[in-house]
Amino acid sequence: KRKHPDRAQASNSLMLDAVRLVCDQKKSIREVAEALKISKSALGRAVKKYKDSGDKDNILFKSNLVCGMIFTAEDEVLLKEYLLKASKMHYGLKRMQVCSVAYQHAKALNRKCPASWQANNLAGRDWFMGFMDHHSELSLQSPEATSLGRATSFNKHNVDAFLSNLKSVYDRYQLTPDRIYIGDETGFTTAHNRPKVVGACGEKQIGQVTSADRGELVTVLCTVNAIGNALPPVLIFPRVRFKDFFLKGAPAGSLGLADRSGWMSSELFLLALEHIVRHTKCSTEEPILLIRDNHESHVSINTINKAKESGVILLTFPPHCSHRLQPLDVSVYGPFKSRYNAACNDWLTDNPGKAISIYNVAELVGSAYVPTVTQKNIISGFQKTGIWPFNSEPFTVDDYMMSPVTDRPVASPCGEVSRQTATMVSETSSASLLENVSNAEVNTNRARSVSADIFTPTVDESASTSTASPSRIVPSGLRPFPTATPH
């Protein structure tokens, strides 16, 4: 890393002009360096080189920065690709771990390292900052927590199984996009997330008023279809009995329900299903497809019977995959909750000294619902997940990078060893009016937690980057990618 990033490197033509001023016009090196704003030491070296050169017309003055480099450009690219792949696998490296890998890589390549590297068994901070400057694709970020179930269950096998079931329903019933519905619950609390505010520079902590440290939860069920239409939401309040004034300010046509916990239950979902049937006007002659997660409250016997009677085809998402397959999670709930938090902050500003209660949530949800649950956002979610227009390959290889951590070598019937997802897959039936659509589920109870710092002693061939030859030393050979150990 350059110690003086503000000091510009003189071009070859400028340095040649400076040298000729010194050698031909007999000016001092200091005077010329100050006049042309170049390094006095660099000009001195250039003058010496000019005097010692036999061909003064074709002489070149090159920077000597390369002389102090430990890694070549190709070595840095290999390290960059290794870090990107580890990050996509959700096992990204900390700064100290990157410096440790860099030092190990330098030793494996028999490169001359600074004394500080050898004393600490780590690459220096200057090298790390320079490496990050060289590769704009990398940045030091705070990762978002991702459960092991989500990281391993979202794999190509589960996604392909779901999309295959979806395609079979489309082919059999010839459903139009206005008959394809998605439903999902999300929670809103009276203690909202604080927005960023302007405060004094240098202050370690800036306060912002909220209603409570831990607020009460109100569950909101949204149902949308593939052409961008949204049904009136269902709001579930944490009370034993529902009162009509709970829905003051809610979107028109909303259904209000009450449960002691504020969560969806089998009994409440049956009422919510009747609400959906009433607004979609579906029947056995004109059925609709309703895609939901496979929570037990959504697949009770009474719900299945009601769906059969009303003309509702139920299809469920694979477990722990809704964050990528659920259109509402992908493109709607993010702006919806951001607008809700902003509305809560405005309400507290307009009502100083008062706290938000569950009786204000419906009005705040209503103010955020209309501008965010829009046709544009809904259609975007359907497109990104491949549900409509149907896309059998909506995700790239990079999107599945976290699932190979739990791959296992298993013996096939022929005795050959292959790599296969470790999670046990079982077929479950999703209730429908006209057919039972089987959907793959992953038994996450068999998933094992893997520490980011524990690695297997062997290296998978696929871990090597495409730019490296099989005989070349690569970072993944020194610090293999994490792989769960077999039971």
- pLDDT tens sequence across 391-435: 999 999 989 988 878 766 554 545 444 443 333 333 333 333 333
Which helix (DSSP H) or strand (DSSP E) does residue 381 occupy? helix 375-385
Average pLDDT over residues 295-320: 93
The tokens for 384 are: 């990104």
What is the chain's mean pLDDT, rounded?
84
Average pLDDT over residues 47-59: 81
Entry field: residues in the chain: 487
3-class DSSP assignment, residue 375: helix
Q: Which residue has the tokens 């491949």?
A: 386
What is the pLDDT confidence band of residue 3, given thresholds at 50, 70 and 90? low
470 pLDDT higher than 50: no
Q: Average pLDDT of 376-405?
A: 93
The answer to whether residue 220 scores a pLDDT higher than 50 is yes
Question: What average pLDDT does range 201-207 have in this prediction?
Answer: 85
Rounded distance between C-alpha atoms, residue 312 and residue 442, angstroms: 25
Q: With a cut of 90, say whether residue 144 has pLDDT above it.
A: no
The pLDDT confidence band at residue 441, using thresholds 50, 70 and 90, is very low
What are 182-199's pLDDT values in tens digits? 999 999 999 999 888 888
Above 50 in pLDDT, residue 464?
A: no
Q: Report the C-alpha gap between 344 and 357 in whole angstroms.
A: 11
- CA-CA distance, 425 to 127, in Å (whole number)? 46
Output the pTM of the full model: 0.72
pLDDT in tens, 88-140: 999 999 999 999 999 999 999 999 999 999 999 999 999 999 999 989 999 99
Closest CA to 242 of 220, 260, 264: 260
**How does pLDDT run across 315-350, given as a tens digit for each residue?**
999 999 999 999 999 999 999 999 999 999 999 999
pLDDT value, residue 283: 95
State the virtual CA torsion across 297, 299, 300, 305 in degrees, nearest 10: 140
User: Which are the contacts of 108, defined by CB distance < 8 A and separation ≥ 6?
Assistant: 473, 477, 478
In 72-111, where does DSSP find H-type helix? 73-88, 95-108
Nearest Cα neighbor of 298 from 157, 428, 174 is 428
- Among 428, 390, 162, CA closest to 295: 428
Domains and CATH numbers, the chain: 12-68 (no CATH), 70-142+452-487 (no CATH), 148-195+210-404 (3.30.420.10)
In angstroms, the CA 289 to CA 170 distance is 9
Of residues 235, 37, 164, the one with CA closest to residue 439: 164
State the DSSP string of 198-256: ---TT-S------S-SS--EEEEEEEEETTS-BPPPEEEESSSS--GGGGTTPPTT-EE
Rounded to an integer, what distance in angstroms lies between the CA atom of residue 407 and that of residue 421? 4
Nearest Cα to Cα of residue 406 among 476, 482, 479? 482
Which positions ≥6 away from 372 have C-beta within 8 Å? Answer: 332, 335, 336, 338, 339
